[in-house]
A and B are shown apart, each in its own frame.
Chain A
């Protein structure tokens, strides 16, 4: 049980506005860590800094003790770090299966083998399994752009798991998803966590979702860590109540 991810003292400013102001935390292997906080507290910016989408102004990110700060998203992904986005991010003109194959194809072989090798990079079966796992089996040949919002959300999550990542960062997975689907999603995430031992970091607004899914919760406010602990501890923390209800 070592630390998979170690984030220390991340700062990020946009033209004078400090979005993230010295955040440090660690993620243990197999854990589901929730990050919550009011709007504009810097959650998504933090994610983007960790994942190389943005370059942090200061601070470092370590994966398994190795420095990965400022590494490009594609490289990080191939090291086993996967993510979903807050807004929908599927490839609308590709079919559901193609979306999933794409999510896995860059993890095996070389550029050459990807050119000369099989069209599906040998991933069709795995993709179909993943589709079945996320209950999208009946839509396997449909264009992703034609799916409902909730279905796209599931596809988005499925893509993040396609390559069997060690660490998955989910940015508001529950946003805009209806209740039935939400149950499905939670159940799927738990299953993957249990079966594959994947580690999760989840940003979420939906408190019930976070509290029932996560093993540990981190609270951000104004770019800083406000509190940390088990869901129950956090729920009881007066500072957190202040931050959420105070304004």
Chain B
């Protein structure tokens, strides 16, 4: 987790952000270690386990993007699944129907979602606060309708099948393990890019946007630019996730890109811990893997899942990351963290 600095803290009031120079390395180490573990993890686990791990990582990418827009920049988007759909359909059509190389399709998916994100971001500049949520809500449903109705292009309700998987240096990735490792690498690269961005001045500007856009503007922060960037980059991450989702499942139809899935991604961000770099991985773990584990309880598994999420949020509105941070603080005796209800 974003463990607060364990050394060199002269003051008792130790903040999460202030501890960044120390905890940055913690996050980086965790990402590297995580990637290594996940590279070897599926050995002997069977294709099901491997597949679920891959699915978890793919969803993590989409959640990472939403965490940037929502958790860091404070923009409420209800269209993350729709952006994921744009990426997935773009990749499926480009690789499946036009025979394009997956890497090119991946880049194009990112570009398309980035561009659409920019366009959709303009109303976000005009209208404030929760109204962006409403605009994206409408967008999300419109995209879903187009995916379902324009059968000539998207296959409509029947979906698109036979989506090819990419290859690396001429090596086909048709096997579950090979593709999983590919997903690990792509996720790792995207996570590192986001980690870098958040610790760069951009990250600081995004957070300033979340906490006080008016003050940020008066300090020379181009709020318009950063708002658009946060939204467009977050959307592009959804596009990247879609570009991996399509070849992972090898079939897409409109259902995983509906409004309710956008809500579900939002749930993952918040439950994992919004505004924490590793929060998305935990959130996606909750959203994707937890229901799979809970299959042991039979038909009640969704109720158990939702109850866990609800109780978690009641106990700790900052999500699992917040809970772990709190636990860590208690463990190290630093339970006098400056608490503010700023968000």
Residues of A within 8 A of B (CB): 51, 53, 72-74, 77-78, 82-83, 85, 89-95, 97-98, 101-103, 105-107, 111, 114-117, 119, 121, 138-139, 141-143, 145-146, 159, 162-163
Contact B211 A141 (CB under 8 A): no
Least distance between A143 CB and chain B CB atoms (Å): 4
Contact B15 A143 (CB under 8 A): yes
Contact B200 A159 (CB under 8 A): no
Contact B220 A163 (CB under 8 A): yes
Contact B221 A106 (CB under 8 A): yes
Q: Which residues of A contact B222 (CB under 8 A)?
A: 74, 106
B260 CB within 8 Å of chain A: no
Contact A93 B340 (CB under 8 A): yes
B217 CB within 8 Å of chain A: yes
B14 CB within 8 Å of chain A: yes
- Once bound together, how far apart are the Cα atoms of A91 and B221, in whole Å? 13
Q: Which residues of B contact A97 (CB under 8 A)?
A: 18
Known contacts A77-B220, A114-B200; A91 and B215 CB within 8 A of each other = yes
Contact A105 B201 (CB under 8 A): yes
- Once bound together, how far apart are the Cα atoms of A143 and B197, in whole Å? 21
Residues of B within 8 A of A (CB): 9-11, 13-19, 21, 197, 199-202, 204-205, 207-208, 211-212, 214-225, 338-340, 342-343
- Once bound together, how far apart are the Cα atoms of A102 and B220, in whole Å? 9
Contact B208 A102 (CB under 8 A): yes
Pull 7 A–B residue pairs with CB atoms less than 8 Å apart, ordered by A: A77-B217, A93-B15, A94-B17, A106-B220, A119-B201, A139-B11, A159-B219
Least distance between B322 CB and chain A CB atoms (Å): 13
Q: Which residues of A contact B223 (CB under 8 A)?
A: 74
Known contacts A92-B211, A92-B340, A92-B342; A101 and B219 CB within 8 A of each other = no
Contact B216 A141 (CB under 8 A): no
- Once bound together, how far apart are the Cα atoms of A142 and B222, in whole Å? 26
Q: Which residues of B contact A51 (CB under 8 A)?
A: 218
- Once bound together, how far apart are the Cα atoms of A159 and B339, in whole Å? 22
- Once bound together, how far apart are the Cα atoms of A105 and B220, in whole Å? 8
Contact A114 B202 (CB under 8 A): yes
Identify the 10 closest CB pairs spanning chains A and B, nearest first: A146-B338, A95-B18, A145-B340, A143-B15, A106-B220, A77-B220, A89-B215, A141-B18, A143-B338, A92-B342
Main secondary structure of the interface of A (DSSP, over half): mixed
Q: Which of A83, A89, A117, A138 contacts B201 (CB 8 A)?
A: A117
Q: Which residues of A contact B212 (CB under 8 A)?
A: 89-91
Q: Which residues of A contact B13 (CB under 8 A)?
A: 139, 141-143, 146
- Once bound together, how far apart are the Cα atoms of A16 and B148, in whole Å? 51
Q: Which of B219, B225, B343 contacts A111 (CB 8 A)?
A: B225
Contact A119 B199 (CB under 8 A): yes
Q: Which residue of chain A has its CB nearest to the CB of B9?
A: A141
Contact B215 A85 (CB under 8 A): yes
Least distance between A144 CB and chain B CB atoms (Å): 9
- Once bound together, how far apart are the Cα atoms of A62 and B13, in whole Å? 44
Contact A93 B215 (CB under 8 A): no
Residue with the highest number of chain B CB atoms closer than 10 Å, among A74, A117, A138: A74
Q: Which residues of A contact B15 (CB under 8 A)?
A: 93-95, 141-143, 146
Least distance between B72 CB and chain A CB atoms (Å): 11
Least distance between B179 CB and chain A CB atoms (Å): 31
Contact B11 A73 (CB under 8 A): no
Least distance between B2 CB and chain A CB atoms (Å): 13
Q: Which residues of A contact B205 (CB under 8 A)?
A: 102, 105-106, 114
Q: Which of A89, A121, A141, A163 contacts B11 (CB 8 A)?
A: A141
Known contacts A73-B218, A117-B200; A94 and B11 CB within 8 A of each other = no
- Once bound together, how far apart are the Cα atoms of A145 and B19, in whole Å? 15
Q: Which residue of chain B has its CB nearest to the CB of A156?
A: B215
Contact B220 A107 (CB under 8 A): yes
Q: Which residue of chain A has its CB nearest to the CB of B18?
A: A95
Known contacts A92-B342, A119-B199; A102 and B11 CB within 8 A of each other = no
Q: Which residues of B contact A162 (CB under 8 A)?
A: 219
- Once bound together, how far apart are the Cα atoms of A102 and B219, in whole Å? 8
Known contacts A74-B221, A114-B200; A91 and B11 CB within 8 A of each other = no
Least distance between A119 CB and chain B CB atoms (Å): 5
Known: A101-B201, A119-B200, A141-B13. 15 other contacts (CB 8 A): A73-B214, A73-B218, A74-B221, A77-B217, A77-B218, A77-B219, A89-B214, A89-B218, A90-B215, A91-B212, A93-B16, A102-B208, A106-B222, A119-B199, A143-B15
- Once bound together, how far apart are the Cα atoms of A141 and B343, in whole Å? 20
Q: Which residues of B contact A91 (CB under 8 A)?
A: 207-208, 211-212, 215-216
- Once bound together, how far apart are the Cα atoms of A105 and B219, in whole Å? 9
Q: Which residues of A contact B339 (CB under 8 A)?
A: 146
- Once bound together, how far apart are the Cα atoms of A159 and B212, in whole Å? 14
Contact B211 A138 (CB under 8 A): no
Q: Which residue of chain B has its CB nearest to the CB of A111?
A: B225
Least distance between A14 CB and chain B CB atoms (Å): 18
Q: Which residues of A contact B338 (CB under 8 A)?
A: 142-143, 145-146
Q: Which residue of chain A has its CB nearest to the CB of B223?
A: A74
Known contacts A98-B18, A142-B13, A146-B338; A121 and B217 CB within 8 A of each other = no
